A and B are shown apart, each in its own frame.
Chain A
Amino acid sequence: MRLLVIDDEETHRLLIKRALSALGVTSLDCIEIGKVEELDGLLASSLPFSVVLLDVHFGSTRGPTLIPTLKSHSPKAYIICISTSELQEDISECYQQKADAYVVKGATLSADILKAVKFAKASNEALS
């Protein structure tokens, strides 16, 4: 499983990766970026990803706007939008852009990410 973590907050990336490590995802499987400028170069040089954890408020960029680019590069990728926001408009925007799940960063982050990633993993296994 190849994962991509897109989040402008370094500490949040660290916490997300810790949650992923509980699933057995090693740092070798997981690539992270903190700036939108890094995305095009990364996608040009990378094989398709299985899972993308995408920050909704990615600096000055709206994370969901990147979903078409990500899907184009990794058509089978499971896109999980992730944010501290529980606002309906944020959630709706993600699903309108064809996100596969929405996870709220909070006290139960680990469990929620694991649930979403496990679902993605199961889906991938079922498809392959």
Chain B
Amino acid sequence: MIGETSLIVYGLLISIGAISLFFGGFLLSTLISKRNLSEIEEQAASLSQERDEAKLHYESLTNNIAAAIIIRDSRGDISYCSPFTEVLTGYSRKEIYETVGDFFLTICEESDRERMARSIKVTELGGEPFQFSFQFFHKSGIKMWAETRTVPITNEEDEVVATLSVTLDITASMRYQMQVEEKNRELKEFTSMISHDLKAPIFTIRGMLQVIAEDYKNEVPSSLIELLGHIERASERLEILVTSILDYAKIGAKEVNLVPVSLSEVVNEVLADHHHLISSTDTEIRVLPLPMVLADRLMLSQVISNLIGNAIKYRMPQRKCEVTVCAEEKSTPRIVKLSVRDNGLGIPQDKIEDVFRPFIRLHGQDIEGTGIGLASVRKLVNKLGGSISLESAEGHGSTFTVTLRGVQ
């Protein structure tokens, strides 16, 4: 009996245990499911928020970017057009959406149409992106410039399902470029005119004076010889001036070849060129250690030659001429400040800016010159990507400081 009862109890216990396990498992799994659901819901909410934010960002971008963005589906129909497209072209988005084929193809300049159509075809068929500049007509009739980049949008099978075009207004930069080209053309014509039309008569005057001097020197009265001398000297000055103007005009068109250059080498070369001037004026030149710079060697040489030449030319007659060439190097950003200091005539404070203007001669006709030198120096320094400044005290001397790019 006891045995049967025990069996029953055991059976009951096992059953209860089994039931408990069943319900326990059920409760546990229910709890886990609820937790998962909650996490999934949280994740979904988070994703939804991220999606909304991304959409906001995307809309902010496409609505405000100064670019015409157009997406065309595989049938060629426009599925998206950014609001700026209206601003750029003058056409409403409704008109743009109703366009058959590529919108810009319908408004671009005739000469660009074939090239653009070909590029679009290549993108649509072969999945190759393209980018080029073209001219188009704004709805108002104004001719404008744009640069477009069209890329294919592909699916997982690498099939082109749409194309995305981003078109920017480059009218201002193209107009600027055209103005620059026009200026360059004018400069070329100007230099050509000076080179030939101005120099040819000078050549005639000087040549004929030489003919008179050689063939008629015994027949010309001395008073006339003196007058001819005036013509000779004036024509010589005119030739120097014309050559200087030409050199000044040509600086703008010069190509800059920036390479590491040893300042010491260039200064020594310049000093060798000025050897006669230095010794004949008993000038003392001090050159302190100089670093390497990034510059066009020829241009840099012209700058230094001009500054040292000026330092000697505008010396104080009453005292020994002393010129110091030194440099200061700064690492961030890497720049070199080259200074040419003299104890010469100096320049009044209110005339300091004038020395860099062309054809301004502060020392009148007493000292030979064309008034182009320092204007050329500033132009050359600007071409090298640097700047020039002047500190001066009348009667005490001047310090010209040229800022150049250091070598990294």
Contacts and interface: CB of A to CB of B under 8 A. Distances in A.
Contacts of A107: 206, 239
A126 interface: no
Contact of B195 (A12, A90, A109): A90
Nearest to B243: A86
Contact of A85 (B195, B202, B207, B211): B195
Nearest to A110: B210
The majority secondary structure among interface residues of chain B is helix
B142 interface: no
Contacts of A11: 204, 207-208
Contacts, number: 49
A86 B195 contact: yes
A107 B239 CA distance: 10
Given A15-B211, A18-B211, A85 B206 contact: no
A9 B204 contact: yes
B192 A87 contact: yes
A84 B191 CA distance: 12
Interface in B194-216: 195-196, 199-200, 202-204, 206-208, 211
Contacts of A57: 196, 200
Contact of A109 (B196, B202, B207, B239): B207
A56 B196 CA distance: 9
Interface in A64-110: 83-87, 89-90, 105-107, 109
B206 A84 contact: no
Given A15-B207, A18-B211, A109-B207, A87 B200 contact: no
Given A15-B211, A18-B211, A85 B204 contact: no
Contacts of B203: 12, 15, 84, 105-106, 109
Interface in B166-193: 188, 191-192
Contacts of B204: 9, 11-12, 15
B66 to A, nearest CB: 40
Nearest to B202: A84
A84 B238 CA distance: 14
B200 A12 contact: yes
Contacts of A15: 203-204, 207-208, 211
Contacts of B200: 9, 12, 57, 84, 105
A56 B199 CA distance: 13
Contacts of A109: 203, 207
A52 B323 CA distance: 51
A29 to B, nearest CB: 21
A87 B191 contact: yes
Interface in A1-52: 9, 11-12, 14-15, 18
A61 to B, nearest CB: 13
A9 B199 CA distance: 13
B144 to A, nearest CB: 34
B142 to A, nearest CB: 36
Contacts of B206: 107
A4 to B, nearest CB: 20
B20 to A, nearest CB: 103
A30 to B, nearest CB: 17
25 contacts: A9-B200, A12-B200, A12-B203, A12-B204, A12-B207, A14-B211, A15-B207, A57-B196, A57-B200, A84-B195, A84-B200, A84-B202, A84-B203, A85-B199, A86-B195, A87-B191, A87-B195, A87-B250, A90-B192, A105-B199, A105-B203, A106-B239, A107-B239, A109-B203, A109-B207
Interface of A: 9, 11-12, 14-15, 18, 56-57, 83-87, 89-90, 105-107, 109
Given A11-B208, A18-B211, 17 more contacts: A9-B200, A9-B204, A11-B204, A12-B207, A15-B207, A83-B196, A85-B192, A85-B195, A85-B196, A86-B246, A87-B192, A90-B192, A105-B199, A105-B200, A105-B203, A106-B203, A106-B239
Pairs of residues from A and B, 3 with the lowest C-beta to C-beta distance, nearest first: A84-B199, A85-B195, A15-B207
